[in-house]
Structure 1
Amino acid sequence: MTTPTLDERISGSLTGAAVGDALGGPVEGYSPEQIVKRHRGRVQGVVGPWDGDAWRTARPIAPYHKGDGHITDDTLMTHALIRVYATVRDHLDAYAVADHLVPDLISNPRWIPELEAEALPLQRVFLAEKWLVARLHYGHNDPREAGVGNIVNCGAAMYMAPVGLVNAAHPAAAYAEALDIAGAHQSSYGREAAGVFAAAVAAACAPGATPTTVVDAALHLAKDGTRAAIEAVTEVAARHSHFESALEPLRTAVAPFDTVGPDYRAPSLAARRPSRLHSIEELPIALGMLLVGGGDYCRTVLGSVNYGRDCDSIATMAGALAGALYGEAAVPRDWSKRVTEASRLDLRAPAAELAAVAREIFARDTERRRAHESAFARLAETDAGAEANAGAEGSTGAADATGAAGPLAEAR
């Protein structure tokens, strides 16, 4: 394969994330065994709603039309963050979320595929995302601390791919920026996962990147339970080359770090509370599936989808990583076409916008870095001059003390 360009990687990551989201949506919340029973085998592409035509009233999903190529709130939030980048055209922080993202969620009606209607994004996003509006718009909390008190889940991590793409090939910068942005939404290991996922996407954009280098970058930056979970899951994933044999071992590996428990729809009492010992489930599994699939988009995403549980977010993250590694050409065109048409969503326009913004930010970063280099060089020259003067004065004093020529010697 040829090395993808920046534009191809950005388009591949965002398209790959949206397609993974749409494939995982209809089987979200179910176990691998339930998925097999419902679909008479593993999911191999776009499928319809779990309850067929009864999706409008069937519980617990109603009234969302999950399936048939419809994206979910993962992609809605990802595109909302891209619009913030398009407005600010520079690095973002928690204040950008308060100033731009929240107003967008509550003021601008958009087509919501799962509702099959135009509505405010706020009417579709999950309660963990509605928290942004409650805390920032109504509560007027400090944006940097607004995430404290929210349930700790993958809510912030699921839409952080744009941060990694803006900081392409610079995982540490992506990690720091995502942590700042996510402070408005999450705390604890939910916020940490947002930073690590953004870093992984940035690492996937580096020339010559592989699934292994992506995992290494994530492990280098991850802290506490997030790091331990990624380490445990990816160690197991390295022993498998097909998701069929990996599904149960990966779940077993992540279970000690996951607070939700074995029944995804009936979380334990300790679920989603802050902890330094735990991790969200979605990010370690997405990285594990990336290794199992060898970075191949189809194998990686289908493994994520058939894992079940929160598989739309897992497939969103895995699709973003595989797409960043190998570009838009890695995403099956029939899948992306189906999602584009079913969701009434232009998948390329946000990618083109973000690529333009990424280049502007890089140019601005270059100017800022050069200005800093120049200032630091002048400081270093001043320090060198001061040291030279101090040395000269010290030499004169030493000469005086030994009776050599100098003011003190002349006075004597």
Structure 2
Amino acid sequence: MTPTLDDRITGSLVGAAVGDALGGPVEGYTPTQILERHGGRITGIVGPWNGDSWRTARPIAPYHKGDGHVTDDTLMTHALVRVYATVRDHLDAFAVADHLVPELIANPVWIPELEAEALPLQRIFLAEKWIVTRLHYGHVDPREAGNGNVVNCGAAMYMAPVGLVNAADPRAAYAEALDVAGAHQSSYGREAAGVFAAAVAAACDPSATPASVVDTALSLAKDGTRAAIEAVAEVAVRYTDFESALVPLRAAVAPFDSVGPDYRAPSLGARRPSRLHAIEELPVALGMLLVGEGDYRRTVLGAVNYGRDCDSIATMAGAVVGALHGESAVPADWAKRVAEASRLDLHAPAAALSAVAREVFERDTARRRAHESAYAALTSADR
């Protein structure tokens, strides 16, 4: 049966969270290091890289990555869902200032990696703390607040809700995500947010396939982001197993990735604005979607075993596959373990967003009909 809207929204958000939790413990490492550490490829949920010394072992300390714990990707995604649940309409950069910032600095939530209830601000990365610095303390125009920030995947990683609210309308998702992300990112970091949201929206189309999702992303992406997705996709279609695709996909995206070969020692030109570069995470996520042919396990495990920023890659890949096929695509045992380990209700955000998506569609329909009526009156003399 064709998945319903509610099923696709649930699949996307649960799929993203599970991908995030699977990728967290091996984030920052290479496929070779992952292979050596785990005696083979990752095939499910694993423990921390440094075992019981996760509290003090650098460079991960003090975060408990592993054992089914979600990371900041999911925390930010769920925070954005709560913003939608408050606004109950399309969002823009001002919604980030008025609603997302208070979510980050005023409302404690359970932080799985800290094993404590805390403000999201105490977990999110510096590029996300920028939102608070610029908007809450600097009072910068929200539409321009992303300028000057680290250019990374920070805005893209939590844009799945924008794609889901604009389900089957990727162009609208792209535009809305660019507006929202303007408060957080600039350059190719902001562009990736728009393209990722569009990919999720495209995946909600009843006739969507992995190939059509990538084609939609290419039709909207600009500059280095488009070139990177195109280069990775050209390579990805030659493979159907992620093991053989790991090195070729990295080679395809490398010319566009400003970070460089050593993920933990970025190059001098890393993460600076550019029309020639792209974040690595989105092209690789879409590449793994093609390699895995839309199968959740193959796609997400490919993203996880790719290493580097693999929690975000797997988050994006999981969100797209979940939107394509619904919740049944996500292994139920993985979802159950992640929910229990992270102490999160993975279904509640989906239910909330589903209600908002339907309300927004009704508002959009009313607005469109009002416009059609006004336009008809304006052009009546032409008939």
1:407 alignment partner in structure 2: none
CA distance in 2, matches of 1:303, 1:23: 11
Listed one character per residue, the Cα deviations across residues 234-274 of structure 1 (whole Å, up to 9, x for unaligned) are: 00000000000000000000000000000000000000000
Q: CA deviation at 1:208?
A: 1.4
1:50 alignment partner in structure 2: 49
- Give the partner amino acid of 2:211: T
CA distance in 1, matches of 2:288, 2:243: 11
CA distance in 2, matches of 1:220, 1:134: 34
Mapping 1:3-402, distance limit 5 Å? 3-384=2-383
- Give the partner amino acid of 1:352: A
Listed one character per residue, the Cα deviations across residues 152-176 of structure 1 (whole Å, up to 9, x for unaligned) are: 0000000000000000000000000
CA distance in 1, matches of 2:207, 2:220: 20
- Give the partner amino acid of 2:89: D
CA distance in 2, matches of 1:169, 1:119: 36
Q: CA deviation at 1:383?
A: 4.0
1:389 alignment partner in structure 2: none
Listed one character per residue, the Cα deviations across residues 132-157 of structure 1 (whole Å, up to 9, x for unaligned) are: 00000000000000000001000000
SS across alignment from 2:117: strand
Q: Which runs of 4+ in 1 moved over 6 A?
A: none
TM-score, with length taken from structure 1: 0.93
SS across alignment from 1:263: coil
CA distance in 2, matches of 1:60, 1:383: 69
CA distance in 1, matches of 2:328, 2:196: 22
SS across alignment from 1:213: helix
CA distance in 2, matches of 1:354, 1:382: 43
CA distance in 2, matches of 1:118, 1:378: 57
Larger radius of gyration: 1
SS across alignment from 1:111: strand
CA distance in 1, matches of 2:158, 2:19: 13
CA distance in 2, matches of 1:181, 1:162: 11
CA distance in 1, matches of 2:357, 2:322: 17
- Give the partner amino acid of 2:253: V
CA distance in 1, matches of 2:42, 2:243: 12
- Give the partner amino acid of 2:149: N
- Give the partner amino acid of 1:62: A
CA distance in 2, matches of 1:367, 1:230: 36
- Give the partner amino acid of 1:330: A
SS across alignment from 2:54: helix
CA distance in 2, matches of 1:259, 1:28: 18
Q: CA deviation at 1:52?
A: 0.3
Listed one character per residue, the Cα deviations across residues 11-69 of structure 1 (whole Å, up to 9, x for unaligned) are: 00000000000000000000000000000000000000000000000000000000000
CA distance in 2, matches of 1:42, 1:266: 24
Count of residue correspondences: 383
CA distance in 2, matches of 1:303, 1:383: 58
CA distance in 1, matches of 2:95, 2:153: 20
CA distance in 1, matches of 2:334, 2:161: 21
SS across alignment from 2:261: coil
CA distance in 2, matches of 1:349, 1:216: 32
- Give the partner amino acid of 1:6: L
CA distance in 2, matches of 1:355, 1:118: 27
Listed one character per residue, the Cα deviations across residues 366-385 of structure 1 (whole Å, up to 9, x for unaligned) are: 0000000000000010344x
Q: CA deviation at 1:288?
A: 0.1
CA distance in 1, matches of 2:108, 2:157: 22
Q: CA deviation at 1:287?
A: 0.1
Q: CA deviation at 1:310?
A: 0.1
CA distance in 1, matches of 2:372, 2:142: 31
CA distance in 2, matches of 1:208, 1:258: 32
CA distance in 2, matches of 1:297, 1:25: 17
- Give the partner amino acid of 2:249: L
SS across alignment from 2:70: coil
SS across alignment from 1:118: strand
**Structure 2 spans left out of the alignment, 5+ residues:** none
Listed one character per residue, the Cα deviations across residues 268-324 of structure 1 (whole Å, up to 9, x for unaligned) are: 000000000000000000000000000000000000000000000000000000000
